[in-house]
Amino acid sequence: MTKTYVLDTNVLLQTPYALNSFGDNTIIIPEVVLEELDKFKKENSELGANARHTARLIDSLRNKGNLSEGVKLENGGTLKIQMNFSHIKLPDGWEDNNDNRILKLCKGLKEQGENVFLVTKDIFERIKADVIGVIAQDFFAEQVPGYNEQYKGRLKVYTTEEKLNEFYKKGKMSIDDVFCYSADYCQTELGERIYNQFFIIYSSSNEKQTALGRFDGNDIVALNFLQERPFGVTPRNAGQKFMQEALMMEADKAPLVIIKGPAGTAKTFYSLAVGLHKIMLERSKLYRKILVCRPNVKLDEDIGFLPGTEQEKIAPFLRPVIDNLEVLIDNDENERYKSEKELKDKVDELFDRKIINTEAIAFIRGRSIVKQWVIIDEAQNLTPKQVKGIITRAGAGTKIILLGDPEQIDHPFLDIRTNGLCYASEKMKGSPLCYQVTLNDDECERSELAYEGARRML
């Protein structure tokens, strides 16, 4: 039976190509959705760009037939523009607003015998649809697996004591020499072999005997940068050692690094430390500067309306970056905060000398970024389209680092399966140009309280 999908405005504002994602079924765009899209068309933002993109797609179909009667799409489906069913009754007390006009349309189509599905990113609209007996769902085309099933970039494996000792000497071992244990402690094969996946390798006879390695596409190889101390920072656990390895690799080998994990695992701190090390301490001068972007939904869409210069507008949102820089530029904990002015001057110097630059995500669109160390903090608040736009801005010699905690999402229409950080992680999994690692709760190094909170407040 052919299905009828009614698309809400938020689906098209986030994913214009959604029109081509429903196979040979019927797609309904309510007239009120066109009205809402029209309000965004002049905005200089991602929402504005998506509204214009959607408008062009629909406009290109007008010469193929009457949109109110239905126009055939290339994938075999049909697109219709539908007027609202104003006579349809909703529960008493429900306001006459745009969301409810869409719900009236859905209910009206259902009463006509159509197999209706409302597609919306709005959770409350989905709940209200259930109340009136209309099936509602999120837009699934950009969804990735649940967080526990997502790629972590690391794996615990086992080998014989003999093979592990050989790995210590040669710095390399066959991936066929490692195995896993199932939940009932039965030995199992490794399974999928993923380029650049990190391994904690245990001796099967003595779990205290371990080594760290990475799959280079052929073998498991030893880490190259275990002895490095970028900007005086020492890795304190396996996750940070993997993170250091990924960050220290040059941009031609590892132009994209994705780091996920809870607060306090030093994601931003380590990324800044390695960036400063590369620019200020290494003679190679492979990078011109550090570019830090920290997405914020309100900021990215409405930055032009805020007072002050670009730097003044985004400064309040970059306070976490400043906090990390204060620790990095003065590693003497006893002396660091004795003179707040001196500490501030040291941080300000990094910005005054253009060693570190900050920008809003909205200003990256359309650029080609060359020979820069790019840190995208809080990347879980990016949409899949935004994260694709950032990655495809990378020019020669640029390294892009996506950081974030998928369990701390502030964007109203994103969740743990649809945010840009997790989307990039799953789509770039196995690419030889991408290194990934997910930090664990027990690798929190901020403070004992931060670790205890992460452990207890699940």
Secondary structure class of 385 (helix, strand, coil): helix
Asked whether the beta carbons of 179 and 187 are under 8 A apart, the reply is yes
Length of the chain equals 458
362, pLDDT greater than 80: no
pLDDT of residue 411: 84
Are residues 174 and 114 both part of a single domain? no
Report yes or no on 74 lying in a domain: yes
The C-alpha R_g of the chain, in whole angstroms, comes to 26
Secondary structure class of 271 (helix, strand, coil): helix
Query: In this structure, what CATH number is given to the domain that contains residue 117?
Result: 3.40.50.1010
Report yes or no on 199 lying in a domain: yes
Report yes or no on 396 lying in a domain: yes
Range scoring the smallest mean pLDDT among 89-103, 169-183, 231-245, 337-351: 337-351
Q: How sure is the predictor about 145, in pLDDT bands with cuts at 50, 70 and 90?
A: confident
pLDDT of residue 297: 42
Are residues 415 and 310 both part of a single domain? yes
Report yes or no on 427 lying in a domain: yes
Q: Centre a 10 Å sphere on the Cβ of residue 35 and count the other Cβ atoms it contains.
A: 12
Are residues 96 and 237 both part of a single domain? no
Are residues 104 and 33 both part of a single domain? yes
pLDDT of residue 307: 52
Mean pLDDT of 445-453: 77
pLDDT tens digits, 42-54: 887 778 889 999 9
Report the distance separating Cα 389 and Cα 397, nearest Å: 17
Report the distance separating Cα 388 and Cα 4, nearest Å: 30
Last residue of a domain, one of 79, 106, 137: 137
Report the distance separating Cα 320 and Cα 294, nearest Å: 10
pLDDT tens digits, 241-254: 999 999 999 999 99
Q: How sure is the predictor about 85, in pLDDT bands with cuts at 50, 70 and 90?
A: confident
Secondary structure letter of residue 56 according to DSSP:
H
- Output 183 or 194, whichever has higher pLDDT: 194
Cite the beta strand spans of 8-112 per DSSP E.
26-30, 71-72, 78-82
Are residues 271 and 360 both part of a single domain? yes
Asked whether the beta carbons of 83 and 74 are under 8 A apart, the reply is no
Q: Phi, psi (5° rounding) for residue 62?
A: -65, -30
115, pLDDT greater than 80: yes
pLDDT tens digits, 403-423: 999 999 988 888 898 899 999
Q: How sure is the predictor about 299, in pLDDT bands with cuts at 50, 70 and 90?
A: very low
337, pLDDT greater than 90: no
Amino acid making up residue 431: S
Amino acid making up residue 179: F
Cite the beta strand spans of 160-309 per DSSP E.
172-174, 180-181, 187-188, 198-203, 210-215, 219-222, 256-260, 289-293
pLDDT of residue 457: 74
Report the distance separating Cα 159 and Cα 427, nearest Å: 30
pLDDT of residue 332: 60
- Output 407 or 318, whichever has higher pLDDT: 407
Containing structural domain, residue 217: 144-222
Report the distance separating Cα 69 and Cα 21, nearest Å: 20
Asked whether the beta carbons of 301 and 313 are under 8 A apart, the reply is no
Are residues 40 and 154 both part of a single domain? no
Query: In this structure, what CATH number is given to the domain that contains residue 373?
Result: 3.40.50.300
Full DSSP string of 293-331 = E---HHHHHHGGGSSS-HHHHHGGGGHHHHHHHHHHH--
pLDDT of residue 316: 66
Q: How sure is the predictor about 194, in pLDDT bands with cuts at 50, 70 and 90?
A: very high
Last residue of a domain, one of 167, 201, 222: 222
**Coarse DSSP helix, strand, coil percentages of the chain, rounded to the nearest 5 percent:** 40, 20, 40
Q: How sure is the predictor about 365, in pLDDT bands with cuts at 50, 70 and 90?
A: low
Report the distance separating Cα 191 and Cα 172, nearest Å: 19
Are residues 350 and 446 both part of a single domain? yes
pLDDT of residue 370: 94
Mean pLDDT of 58-64: 92
300, pLDDT greater than 50: no
pLDDT tens digits, 208-230: 999 999 999 999 999 999 999 99
Enclosing H/E stretch for 268: helix 267-276
Mean pLDDT of 150-177: 96
pLDDT tens digits, 343-353: 888 888 999 99
Q: How sure is the predictor about 288, in pLDDT bands with cuts at 50, 70 and 90?
A: very high
pLDDT of residue 330: 74
Are residues 302 and 440 both part of a single domain? yes
Are residues 125 and 148 both part of a single domain? no
pLDDT of residue 301: 46
Report the distance separating Cα 62 and Cα 11, nearest Å: 21
Report the distance separating Cα 272 and Cα 243, nearest Å: 12
pLDDT of residue 266: 93
What percent of the chain shows pLDDT beyond 90? 63
Q: How many helices (H) and strands (E) does the chain have?
A: 15, 19
Are residues 261 and 407 both part of a single domain? yes
Mean pLDDT of 117-145: 91
pLDDT tens digits, 7-59: 999 999 988 888 888 999 999 999 999 999 999 988 877 788 899 999 999 99
Report the distance separating Cα 190 and Cα 209, nearest Å: 20
Average pLDDT of the chain is 89
Are residues 443 and 306 both part of a single domain? yes
* Triad 228, 232, 235: Cα angle to 5°: 55
Task: Residue 357: name the closest of 392, 321, 394 by CA.
Answer: 321
364, pLDDT greater than 50: yes
Report yes or no on 227 lying in a domain: no
Quote the number of domains for the chain: 3
Report yes or no on 70 lying in a domain: yes
Report the distance separating Cα 154 and Cα 259, nearest Å: 11
Last residue of a domain, one of 137, 156, 172: 137
Q: Diameter of the chain by CA atoms?
A: 79
Report the distance separating Cα 381 and Cα 358, nearest Å: 17
- Output 424 or 386, whichever has higher pLDDT: 424
Mean pLDDT of 114-136: 95
Report yes or no on 43 lying in a domain: yes
Query: In this structure, what CATH number is given to the domain that contains residue 212?
Result: 2.30.130.10
pLDDT of residue 141: 75
Are residues 167 and 239 both part of a single domain? no
